[in-house]
Amino acid sequence: MIIRSKAPLRIGLAGGGTDVSPFADIYGGSILNATINLYAHATIIPNNSNKIELQALDQGKNQAFNSAKTLPLDGTLDLLKGVYNRIAKDYLEEPLSFTLQTYVDAPPGSGLGSSSTLVVAIIGAFAHWLKLPLGEYDIAHLAYEIERIDLGLAGGRQDQYAATFGGFNFMEFYKDDKVIVNPLRVKAKYVNELQHNVVLFYTGTSRESATIIDKQAKAINQQEKNQIDATLKVKEQSVKMKEALLKGELDKIGNILNVGWEYKKLMAEGITNPDIEKMYQTAINAGAIGGKISGAGGGGFMFFYCPNNTRFDVIKAISELDIKVTPYEFAMSGLYSYTIN
């Protein structure tokens, strides 16, 4: 028997960073994101070896242990071990024997929520194998707790829910980790036109999102007015983006992205840098009317809204910076798990 699971990565269209505490706890956050056909994958192969073997196939990392209910967290494959430890603690009486293999279609630190999505995929595989009574909200919240509490990793709340639910979602974030996911019924023609007009690039550099997120949290804790005002403006753009998508007013999206990006850069130091600014201006000069970094900032993936057929001029101009376009399609489904006998 083989259990496989996959969950989609996401691009944050508007509101990014407002899902981070303490801002979300004090002011309430809102984000509009959409999942794409890049995935985090998990495979579980049960056995009777009295061993647990962990393999991150895309990173070339392997660890093996005698079967136990708790695996040591030592900085290597801790996401994999963190999920197993929590599943074992909450649902198992005896340890399991298995091989867990994972890989992600995008590099770590890409800004597409790869770490959180991988956690969701692994939970999905265990839930399918063990027939755990977990709904979508349960899985997303468990993934959040494993990352933020069990493993102590800084970050927001949107990625776990995007990966679990899939599609276009307007998400609201409140104190006590309360999250409301509002799936959007965006007409197919608007989805296809957005897909044609939004062009995705990988900057070629990854970044450590926790550093930027820590700076955002510190600014809110210290009641820095400029950062708070900027974050409130970023939140406002998520509502405008929702309205534009549902009404099919796609000509407004480029401006919403542009305004959101200008305010996002004020939320914390390190969100942008000279290379990112050069890339942004190059795209605008070639015909894009807005864009942003996907994720906390500092690197990873960046996307631009290119109306009509300006995408070709933008791709050509960005390619001269030695940055390549990343083909994608929007993924309308979330976490999916299945068994092969």
Look up residue 216 and give its two tokens.
């955002």
Instruction: Give Cβ neighbours of residue 222 (< 8 Å, ≥ 6 apart).
Output: none
What is the spatial distance between Cα 206 and Cα 260, in angstroms, rounded to a whole number?
22
The one catalytic residue in 159, 177, 229, 322 is 159
Q: Is the dihedral of CA 152, 153, 159, 160 positive or negative?
A: negative
CB 289 within 8 A of CB 258: yes
DSSP letter for each residue of 219-281: HHHTT-HHHHHHHHHHHHHHHHHHHHHHHT-GGGHHHHHHHHHHHHTTSSTTS--HHHHHHHH
What is the spatial distance between Cα 175 and Cα 219, in angstroms, rounded to a whole number?
18
Neighbours of 101 (CB within 10 A): 20
What is the spatial distance between Cα 280 and Cα 196, in angstroms, rounded to a whole number?
19
On the CB side of 96, CA atoms within 13 Å amount to 21
159 a catalytic residue = yes
What is the spatial distance between Cα 275 and Cα 283, in angstroms, rounded to a whole number?
12
Active site residues: 159
